Structure 1
Amino acid sequence: MPATPQSARHNLLEDAQGLLAGALFVALSVVFFKHAGLLIGGTAGLTLLVHYASGLNFGLVYFLINIPFYVFAVRAMGWEFTLKTFCAVLLLSVYSELLPAVISLGTLQPAFGAVMGGLLAGTGLLMLIRHHASLGGIGVLAIWLQRNKGWRAGTVQMIADVLILGAALIWIAPWLVALSVLGALAVNLVIAINHRPGRYFGV
């Protein structure tokens, strides 16, 4: 029987790269979703709903809405995970304010925006998960359930996203919600396929 690979911890520079790049990928996905008038799942989706409904600053609302989840993260996942998650959330909040100054989208077909935005978000979240971090909110619960109950993080996130996007029908046109579901599927397929217990041994 082949030996089980040993888990090799990421060093500080590797973690920094993972957090910086992962949060940037997700922030870029938010640019795609916002430009197309779509929603993303999870806490970012709730934040976009608030943004669309009130015009409030996305970065600030996203940072504030995650604060209650840090309490659960500390108790369920430990201080290391919580501090990394705090940094990732802060980075996403900052990136979301800086990116409009360096990137401007002209034509973006909504269906492509949904899929491409979803793939970017899924890749960014995967990078964060592999560096023992998340973007807070439902992601914290999804990772905890995978580690402690064996539930796939992508599946948990997908269920939550469908519920959030279903609720969005109150404010968002049905065809935009349908495209948002397509984006959520892209996000969670990336995570469900590429983040499975036993396939990755770095932490």
Structure 2
Amino acid sequence: MKHETGAMAGKTRGAIAATDTIGVPHSVFEDIYAMIIGMAFVVVGLVLLKAAGLVTGGVAGIALLASYVFPLPVGTIFTLVNIPFFLFAYFTMGPRFALKSTVASFGITFALAAMPQTFNVAFINPLFASFVGGTLCGMGILALARHGAGVGGTGIVTLWLQRERGINAGISQVCIDATILLASLATIPAGRVAWSALSAVAMSGMVVAWHRPGRYTGR
């Protein structure tokens, strides 16, 4: 009897281990809820950074930087920059990922357009804006990545590099972010570029620390 009980316990542990390894699929509700939360994090982070006149890494940083040069809303630039990356996502990451990423991008664009009537920042310390804004953007990107989506742009490329080449998404993002920050020196003062660098580190740090292969088994 003890032998049978031990065998059953062993099978149970084995089944649990197998489930942990394979990963439990997310439900449709979980995907939708996570994408809404992820988009909200990114939008609030961008609002804080924009209020302080900063940029950050990734496609969000490109959109912010371009908004200081061209008379277009951040959300509009965000979508325009993303178009070629969505095509890349469709052919390299699959239609499901591309569709989710497109939905996330348009959701962020529409939410940013509504922010002036919803959320207004009269004053913000650049240190707070850079760290909290960058961290919120990173949390949003992480939430979307966990549920098979991206915010578009360079994030899609870094996720593809991690999946296909084993290159950590956060590390490759840091390299891209450094290029964006160097380009921003031609547009914004060096002091704000320094704060922007902190925001890029905070954003990528979220991905480096918590988006590692094998750390999360949900699908």
TM-score (norm 1): 0.96
Q: Aligned partners of 1:150, 1:109: CA distance in 2, in Å?
A: 38
Aligned residue identity for 2:184: A
Q: Give the corresponding residue for 1:11.
A: 27
Secondary structure, aligned partner of 1:66: helix
Of the three residues 177, 180, 183, the one matched with 2:199 is: 183
Hey, what does 2:123 align to over in structure 1?
Answer: 107
Query: Deviation at 1:186?
Result: 0.3
Alignment partners' CA distance in 1, 2:52 and 2:158: 27
Q: Distance in 1 between matches of 2:81 and 2:135?
A: 24
Distance in 1, Cα, partners of 2:73 & 2:215: 39
1:174 corresponds, among 181, 190, 212, to 190
Q: Which runs of 5+ in 2 are unaligned?
A: 1-12
Give 5+ residue unaligned stretches, structure 1: none
Describe the SS at the equivalent of 1:135.
coil
Helix, strand or coil: the match of 1:151? coil
- Shift, 1:84, TM fit: 0.1
Root-mean-square deviation (Å): 1.3
Match of 1:193 among 209, 215, 219: 209
Aligned with residue 159 of structure 1, among 165, 175, 179 = 175
Aligned match of 1:134:
150
Corresponding letter in the other structure for 1:42 = G
Instruction: Report the Cα offset of residue 99 of structure 1.
Output: 1.8
Count residues with an aligned counterpart. Answer: 203
Partner residue in 1 for 2:6: none
- Percentage identity across paired residues of the two chains: 38
Q: Aligned AA for 1:15?
A: D
Q: CA deviation at 1:42?
A: 1.0
Q: In structure 2, what is the equivalent of residue 64 of structure 1?
A: 80
- Please report how far the alpha carbon of residue 106 of structure 1 lies from its aligned counterpart in structure 2 after TM superposition: 2.7
Query: Separation in 1 of the partners of 2:195 and 2:151?
Result: 23
Bigger shift: residues 98-107 or 16-25: 98-107
Q: Which amino acid aligns with 1:188?
A: S
1-structure distance, mates of 2:46, 2:76: 14
* 2:38 partner SS: helix
Q: Which residue of 2 aligns with 1:125?
A: 141
Which amino acid in 2 is paired with 1:61? Answer: I
Larger radius of gyration between Structure 1 and Structure 2:
2
The DSSP-based 3-state class of the residue aligned with 2:68 is helix
SS in 1 for 2:214: coil
The alignment's TM-score, normalised by the length of structure 2, stands at 0.89
Letter in 2 for 1:51: S
Q: Tell me how far 1:100 sits from its aligned partner.
A: 2.0
Of residues 144-153 and 29-38 in structure 1, the stretch that sits farther from structure 2 once superposed is: 144-153
